[in-house]
Every structure is written in C-alpha cells, then in structure tokens.
Amino acid sequence: ELDALTALLHPGQQQLAVQLSGMNERFAVLSLLIERLANERTVLIALDDIHCDETARRFVQHIVENLEQKSLRVLFVLTAQDEDVDGASTIGLLNPLLKLNGTTDVPVGPLGKAERAVLMRELLGLEPRLATRLAEGSGGNPLFAIRVVEGWIRAGVLQAGPLSTNT
C-alpha cells in the first residue's frame, strides 16, 4: 500500500515496486487512503472549479459510489462557476454528481455591498477609494476582484503600502 501511495504522489519514479498505469488504479489507491482516514474521522475533500476538470468529476463519482455502501464519513465540498465550459453547460457537466445520494446543491449569489467592502479592504488590503471602485466593478463576484488584483500585481501597477493597524 505504501508503494502504491508513493507511486500516486511521485509518478514516474522507476525504483518503485508499484507503477500505477491508469486513472482507475489511481482512484483505487485514493479510495483506500480515504477509507482508512474515514474509519478514524470525517474526511473533508474540497475541490474548486469542478466544472473545469472531468477527471476530478469522475474521481468524486468513483469515491462516492465505492464508499457509499461502507457508511464512511466523507464530505465533498465542490465549487463550480455558472458558465459554459467547452460548449457544455455547467449543469450538464455536473448532472451525474448532482444525482448521487446525499448531494446538496447550494447556489451562491454575488456578495452584498458590505461583504464586498470586507473583501476589498481587509482581505485584499486595498485602500478605501480603490476598494470601493473595485467592489462596484466586480458586481459582487469575489473571484473577479481577486483576479483583477492579481493582474495588477503581475503588471506591477499595484504596490504595497504601509500596513494598517486599524482592522
């Protein structure tokens, strides 16, 4: 088992006794690890932007279907954007997962004005005027605001100022 886990974490190492040849073998090794962990405590697995990764969606489906009859405590928290991916709707891509037992779909709307202010000033550390402008321009989409700030940093147009102690 240890060799299989090592092969999963370090693919391509020739000196390992086990070489995983495909996705099903990788899923089986991960299932075993999750099962072992879930025997001791609840396992939380968070996957962001699940709509963008077919392998991740298949992994979730595999784990849920294979561990379901064992009554193990595994909680998946998956995020997905409400957008089309390669011509397919997000709902269409996620339907197989939404049909699994115990699945709950929790739509999350845009951030309200107060939450946007907290994100811009406290989490992203923007000065108040810039924070207000970005909050208005983001339409409540935190990912958009974060990506804009990342772009500003990469382009060198956003510079760090003195840290505020008034939070």
pLDDT digits (tens, 9 = 90+) for 66-95: 777 787 788 889 888 776 556 567 777 788
Is 90 exceeded by the pLDDT of residue 44? yes
Element (H, E) at 111: none
- pLDDT at residue 132 greater than cutoff 60: yes
pLDDT of 164 strictly over 50: yes
Q: What distance in Å separates the CA atoms of residue 131 and residue 51, rounded to the nearest whole number? A: 30
State the pTM of this model.
0.65
Structure tokens at 27: 């899923």
Rounded Cα distance between 24 and 29, Å, is: 9
Q: What are phi and psi of 75, to 5 degrees?
A: -115, 120
Cα(18)–Cα(1) distance, integer angstroms: 9
